[in-house]
Structure 1
């Protein structure tokens, strides 16, 4: 029987797990303890775990069904579950021209009708310094709002899109995106506040990189409300900052967090090579019990 040591890294999010070798097969009790720690701390970290691709995939499958490495940018040719997070990858082209405190914070692929439940990222080539990643607790951010504002937000829905260069998210936008890039756009309408399917927590579901607008508000009202909420979401006391080492793993609940990939690595000559697996998620549900709806794009299917 494995005895895990779980060390919290902040008051509200993040814990390091020691006492387990995830390169080896895991017993059911260990799997359950890791999942419980994930649900409690939202993101969990392991050190000195030098996984290869097959071991990474086996570890991920203990907790869910892997999806294609990245539904936009593709996957490893041999291991379709694996997405290469290299220093100079395609996703970096989406940098915002205007920088705010929430710029580049995101929850993975929320433009899809069923965003991933979790992501598991491992560091293989890690800079000696720089390149830290941040996560924030969307449940704590929601709980910290006033009751009156929470009640209002509970009634709202947002449009999330992965077509940032072609204007407001509509079915017409999806057609434009497909003509420009040759792929179907992911555009979905999600509740602004979702219910975590395992813990029952209420979560601010407002991925800054993907939310286009709040349904029913004017553009001015929507933008002002979103900017206030994004600024609140990434307050320091809700976040954890992780310093990577070679062999580190970060495993986060994509339903309950947003994260910030590092930009400082582009100011150095250091290389950085990580690999990620995402696990299939469910369709989010709001406080009123109504699920999200798809505007464009199909559900993300697992790799069997």
Structure 2
């Protein structure tokens, strides 16, 4: 453990880790030191880590159970079903008769739309994500994360108490603007509906922290409120979650690895690289998560979609 150095990257979230070779088997004390740093700083950054797919999966297994996504694109490695390659995202618009830019524009209806946790509409969102960079642009392409525990703690006491009592529906495809006439993506959404009523404040299963469980990508409506009441409150809470002081921004390099707690953070993928004509190839492995629990101890409620641990 003496080899591991934790250097905070921002006041509330993020730390750079040195002294660990992620391509080699980690010792038990190294695993525990990294896990403790993850609980404290929510997202960890490692530089000059040249993992292949096998080492990436092996690393993930030291911290949990990697999930096997049910649908991946042609860029993902066929021999490693746990690994997703982000270049697959560029194929998605084409599958539905749109270029990538139009597909994104129709899905992102607000400035906060891109902020999300991975697969937050599921009954059991992943516990963590490990993302490694293979090829990145010479500039641009940064990712930003926000600390949901700090965001909750930063609310006034009356608003925290109110939020503790509420639940909200998270749904895949919220806010999508359909194309005129036939729309293949609408058909896809109807065939793969995924929605869950999650607590607006969830309790972290390992640290016990209360987390403001909001995002701009999946969140539909607070169940106990009308739409006219729900909309402004969700906007306020999302603004709270993404306040600059609760965020950290990471500059990627080839060989960089980011390891984040998907329960305690939301993140924003970069939107400044499409015009650069330079590939950005990243590989992702996610760890299986549990059904969230609210402050009252009650679990999230499924609306539609896969059962826990079914991908």
TM value normalised by structure 1: 0.91
Cα distance in 1, alignment partners of residues 8 and 200 from structure 2: 28
Selected match of 1:145 from 139, 155, 160: 155
* 3-state SS in 2 of match to 1:67: coil
Contact 2:221 2:231 in 1 (8 A): yes
1:280 corresponds in structure 2 to 288
> Deviation digits for residues 22-81 of structure 1, max 9, x if unmatched?
10011111001010000100000100001100000000000000112x445566422110
2:263 corresponds in structure 1 to 255
Cα distance in 2, alignment partners of residues 116 and 272 from structure 1: 23
Cα distance in 2, alignment partners of residues 181 and 291 from structure 1: 25
1:234 corresponds in structure 2 to 242
> Deviation digits for residues 118-145 of structure 1, max 9, x if unmatched?
0000000011110000000000000000
Cα distance in 2, alignment partners of residues 151 and 76 from structure 1: 46
2:278 corresponds in structure 1 to 270
- TM-superposed CA distance for 1:270, in Å, is 1.4
Selected match of 1:189 from 175, 181, 197: 197
- TM-superposed CA distance for 1:183, in Å, is 3.8
> Deviation digits for residues 169-210 of structure 1, max 9, x if unmatched?
xxxxxxx99954574311100000000001111000012100
> Deviation digits for residues 200-229 of structure 1, max 9, x if unmatched?
110000121000100021111111111111
Contact 1:160 1:212 in 2 (8 A): yes
Change (3 A) 1:181 1:189: closer
Change (3 A) 1:244 1:235: same
TM value normalised by structure 2: 0.89
Cα distance in 2, alignment partners of residues 34 and 76 from structure 1: 27
Contact 2:124 2:291 in 1 (8 A): yes
* 3-state SS in 2 of match to 1:51: coil
TM alignment of 1:285-296, pairs within 5 A: 285-296=293-304
- TM-superposed CA distance for 1:164, in Å, is 2.8
1:123 corresponds in structure 2 to 133
Selected match of 2:222 from 178, 202, 214: 214
Contact 1:13 1:238 in 2 (8 A): yes
* 3-state SS in 2 of match to 1:20: coil
Cα distance in 2, alignment partners of residues 40 and 72 from structure 1: 33
Structure 1: tracts of 5 or more residues without a match: 168-175
Structure 2: tracts of 5 or more residues without a match: 94-99, 178-183
Contact 1:280 1:300 in 2 (8 A): no
